Structure 1
Amino acid sequence: MQEQRLKTNLDTNLIKLIAIISMTVDHVGGAFFPEYPVFRWIGRIAFPLFCYCLTVGMLYTHDIKKYLLRLGAFALISQPFWILAFNSDDIVGNIFNLNIFFTLIVSLLATWGFKEKKWWLFIAGIILLNVVNFDYAMTGLILMMIFYLCRNKPWLGAIIYTLTYLPALNGYMEDPLALKIGGHAIGFEIFALLALPFIYIHTKSDLKISKWFFYIYYPAHLFAIFLIQLFV
């Protein structure tokens, strides 16, 4: 039996399922109900959960190269569907408007570089995330580093994770996605804290879902959004 490398929640099939549900709500809201920010608030749960699951995958995979190649293949497969779903009016101009898979891959590669003391890879990842217009930018790497470095100290990971999102308490009233309470705005990023219990509270759902479902779902749901937009 492979040695356990994390003391956080390893019920990753449940976590992935929650992540894709949250992501779908986010994308449906962005595509069809932009005037209702609650869809986007729910969507903030997804990205941290994906980052966490990839960190778990990095620690438990038997072959990191195959893992990265698999992620890379589906990032490329998903790219045209990502453009069609959200930027079909300017396909050529959005070729390099990269889907979230690319951010996750670079963040994962940099984290793995840190783990293996391949510092050039870690530094290259940081540079890429700051130079290329990746969605979420450095957030993916920061989260993965928290999950990796605090893998055996979940209490510390939970504290640092929470501190990472506290700046969102000071949002901007001009932001249409902000939660506005009286005359104060809270940035919608604060809702990423809702992902915290799924990562740090142990569950045993015993869900059995093929890993290919999670890969295929991403381009499939983007294509579905595009098709629905054609008839709405």
Structure 2
Amino acid sequence: MRSAGLDLVKWVAMATMVVDHLRYLWPQAHGLFIVGRLAFPLFCLAMAVNVARASALKPHYLGWMIAFAVLSEAPYRWLDADSQTFNIMPTLALGLLVAWGVRYRGGWMHLAGLGAVALAALYHQRLMYGLPGVLLPAACLLALQRGGPAWLLPCVLAIGGNLTNSWLRDHLLAPISLITLSAAALAIGVGRLLLRVEHSPLPAVRRWGYLFYPAHLGLFALFV
């Protein structure tokens, strides 16, 4: 069954991602970067909800993510040739494996999750949001399962993922840095509120959502 709240989380994640990437067209609009800090934690929360709701392992989910990780790299490089990281999809794909390792404990899936953590640690600097970003979907899943103080962990990891940004690390106490990191942490709370929505006029986000990522990158690259 579709969840209006879950679809709303996905829509807000995509909208804030687009707002963030508008900086490539409007570099002076620094506030867009702050809004964009909502996107990745919301995507991770949506992933965690999907993993928690699944009655069985769905390998095609990972297959789609790997396929679009490859497809998205060219438009990502086209838009941001100076980036030192891969596009966001490899981080999410590894995060999915870790979340599966938490959801389906024991056996080969648990080992695959541990392998994803090791790979993320090894390629930490090449992954957008680094190791904290890879761990974030699993942290959201644990919070969904346990509730209460467990929700602090994804907030901390959302902050940690943004601290892979060297400018934020070097200007940690600057007002814009504090606001940015606060936005990343608050994204989890925003997502929890959105999940409670029972009715929404927005259409369901289906597999076309995967294509949206490389498509909007390519479109923006045409105007840079």
Bin of the TM-score, shorter chain as denominator length: 0.7 to 0.9
Alignment of 1:42-81 (within 5 A): 42-61=35-54, 62-81=56-75
- Flag the 1:166–1:115 CA change in 2: closer, same or farther, 3 A: closer
Alpha carbons 2:13, 2:39 under 8 Å: kept: yes
- Flag the 1:110–1:160 CA change in 2: closer, same or farther, 3 A: closer
Question: Which residue pairs with 2:88 in the alignment?
Answer: 100
* Gap runs ≥5 in structure 2: none
Question: Which residue pairs with 1:124 in the alignment?
Answer: 115
Correspondence 1:221 to 2:216: yes
Q: Distance in 2 between matches of 1:82 and 1:153?
A: 37
- Flag the 1:178–1:12 CA change in 2: closer, same or farther, 3 A: farther
Structure index of larger Rg: 1
* 1:166-215 deviation line (CA, Å, top 9, x unaligned): 789xx96953x97528xxx6262221133133332211233332413311
Report the AA paired with residue 111 of structure 2: W
More helix by share: 2
- Flag the 1:157–1:10 CA change in 2: closer, same or farther, 3 A: farther
Q: Distance in 1 between matches of 2:98 and 2:175?
A: 36
* 1:130-180 deviation line (CA, Å, top 9, x unaligned): 111111012223322222122233333333334556789xx96953x9752
Q: Distance in 2 between matches of 1:77 and 1:166?
A: 28
- Flag the 1:121–1:84 CA change in 2: closer, same or farther, 3 A: same
Question: Which residue pairs with 1:161 in the alignment?
Answer: 154
Alpha carbons 1:165, 1:190 under 8 Å: kept: no
- Flag the 1:49–1:119 CA change in 2: closer, same or farther, 3 A: same
Sequence identity (%): 24
TM-score normalised to the size of structure 2? 0.80
* Gap runs ≥5 in structure 1: 2-8
Q: Distance in 1 between matches of 2:90 and 2:20?
A: 18
CA-based RMSD: 3.1
Alignment of 1:4-153 (within 5 A): 11-29=5-23, 31-61=24-54, 62-87=56-81, 97-116=85-104, 117=106, 118-132=109-123, 133-153=126-146
Report the AA paired with residue 160 of structure 1: L
**Secondary structure of the corresponding residue to residue 33 of structure 1:** coil
- Flag the 1:179–1:43 CA change in 2: closer, same or farther, 3 A: farther
Report the AA paired with residue 13 of structure 1: D
Q: Distance in 2 between matches of 1:210 and 1:172?
A: 32
